[in-house]
Structure 1
């Protein structure tokens, strides 16, 4: 299946998804970062589909998914995943999320352990307070005339300077994703991040967990990943000298680490 398909959540939101890989293989769900769509994982697909049936989706407010009004919650974002698995009749799956996707992964690990086999949390955080900064960002993005300045801010936080000047083709692809994101979609997900705090509840996660950190990540600092790994019993931590999108900067190593962890006995 190479085109987008859709399902409707319990609150009536249409969410886009796609499958890649052999239907007979274990399912691996990929969850995107804020400001991107499922194509942020394109580089990973050749390696991951050798072993898994990869299920990607656009988080509500992004890509081909609907952009409902108002604030979103992490609980709702997590339930979107559960309802997608239900709609597709998938009982259990591996889950890999980066940034916002990793926050959703933590929620799933805590609240739906029976649905998650192995969990990978990349460049993410259990808490990104204080809340006031997110309320300011919500107001700012909704008042801005366009997404140009917001896109520039994100790219500066996501990539090292050598990829920005001159702009690498992969950066241009992420710029296009950001510019295509509707302000309300970004604002709604900002609210979910604002209201999130899983610093204590992460101790309830029982799925085998790999945490991936970027040494130079200014969005979700490496110390945040270290805290997550210290809270989840038996979690493994990998750190690379990356900024925020480790799957882009260290693609081959990232793919290898993901496959090795998910196939480990």
Structure 2
């Protein structure tokens, strides 16, 4: 089932719903140039669907969500990201667990910087960045992302396409079905190049935000992540008081696809304890 919520500046955001409507919510926030479809394995997970309400948002300018008017579109404003996510959390209700993958981790820190943890039961950072900008340890990228930039931001297809293919190929360390790999590439191509570029025009330090967290937090990161370096996950885990860290050997940037069963079990156990 799909619905829409209204985010900052009236931008309509597409939201996918699954699981039990009367259960605590898991709110999934996808990564750069992706979409809510990335979480398909979790929406297909019988245990997660039995115990939780699943909510996955398409970030502004991604998937089914609208592209904001104006040159900047709010992509460089933490308050805009915070308002967008607040609209989704209004739908989820109190006691939700926020799950952020890749750039989604940064969106979550934007929300926390503005609203704190009030009403949240827990947080999960999955192959995530929590900072962005030159020299920021919480945003350190891996070799696949480094090779893809700046070409992946270009509006010239001859430049962007090989860069995005390189990135898609580097997302996984384990074999995944061809349809899944092509879906990741297709999601990136569906995001306008102006949006892909705008998300990088930021400089964010989240050390104080992470250190102030007071809800249960899970950090999951594949040791072979070539998009977001594992040290970014280590940085977050080291800053967050009492963080639970789960390092997945031989897994790349999409642990919820490459090791879907293990990921689902870990997330379900963590969220069950956080919301119980």
> Aligned partners of 2:165, 2:150: CA distance in 1, in Å?
16
Q: 1:94-123 CA deviation, whole Å, 9 max, x = no partner?
A: 111100112222333443310321100011
CA distance in 2, matches of 1:27, 1:46: 16
Contact 2:13 2:65 in 1 (8 A): yes
Aligned CA RMSD, in angstroms, stands at 2.5
1:127 to 131, 144, 154: 131
**1:96-111, aligned counterparts within 5 Å?**
96-110=99-113, 111=115
Offset, 1:89: 6.9
Equivalent of residue 162 in structure 2, options 135, 149, 154 = 149
Is the counterpart of residue 112 in structure 1 residue 139 in structure 2?
no
Alignment partners' CA distance in 1, 2:124 and 2:44: 18
Task: Find the aligned partners of 2:89 and 2:264 in 1 and give their Cα distance.
Answer: 24
1:56 and 2:35 correspond: no
Flag the 1:66–1:51 CA change in 2: closer, same or farther, 3 A: same
Alpha-carbon separation, structure 1, partners of 2:155 and 2:105: 28
Match of 2:199 among 189, 200, 225: 189
Gaps spanning 5+ residues in structure 1: where? none
Distance 1:129 1:195, change over 3 A: closer
> 1:12 aligns to what?
10
Where does residue 138 of structure 2 map in the other structure? none
Structure 2: tracts of 5 or more residues without a match: 136-140
Deviations 1:218-263 (A, max 9, x none): 2221111111111111001000121111111111100000001111
Alignment pair present for 1:173 and 2:183: yes
1:212 is paired with a residue whose SS is strand
CA contact under 8 A between 2:102 and 2:228: conserved in structure 1? yes
Partners of 1:201 and 1:21 in 2: how far apart? 31
Does the alignment pair 1:65 with 2:65? yes
How far residue 137 of structure 1 moved from its aligned partner, in angstroms, is 5.1
Structure 1 143/23 Cα, relative in aligned 2: closer, same or farther at 3 Å?
closer
2:105 and 2:192 map into 1 onto residues whose CA distance is 21
Using a 3 Å threshold, how does the CA distance of structure 1 residues 129 and 250 change in structure 2: closer, same or farther?
Answer: same
2: CA distance between counterparts of 1:179 and 1:235? 35
- Cα pair distance change 1:46/1:145, threshold 3 Å: closer
Residue 251 (1) aligns with residue 260 (2): yes
Q: Indicate the SS of the match to 2:9.
A: coil
- C-alpha deviation, 1:186, in angstroms: 1.2
* TM-score between both structures, scaled by the size of structure 1: 0.87
The alpha carbon displacement at 1:140 in A equals: 6.5
Structure 2: distance between partners of 1:83 and 1:138: 32
Aligned length: 255
- Correspondence for 2:35: 37
Does structure 1 retain, via aligned residues, the 8 Å contact 2:211–2:239?
Answer: yes
Determine the C-alpha separation between the residues in 2 that align with 1:15 and 1:207. Answer: 27
The answer to whether the 8 Å contact 2:126/2:221 transfers is yes
Summarize the Cα distance change of 1:145–1:21 in structure 2 as closer, same or farther, 3 Å threshold.
same
TM-score (norm 2): 0.83
What is the rounded CA distance, in whole Å, between the counterparts of 2:172 and 2:119 in structure 1? 33
Aligned with residue 234 of structure 1, among 221, 239, 242: 242
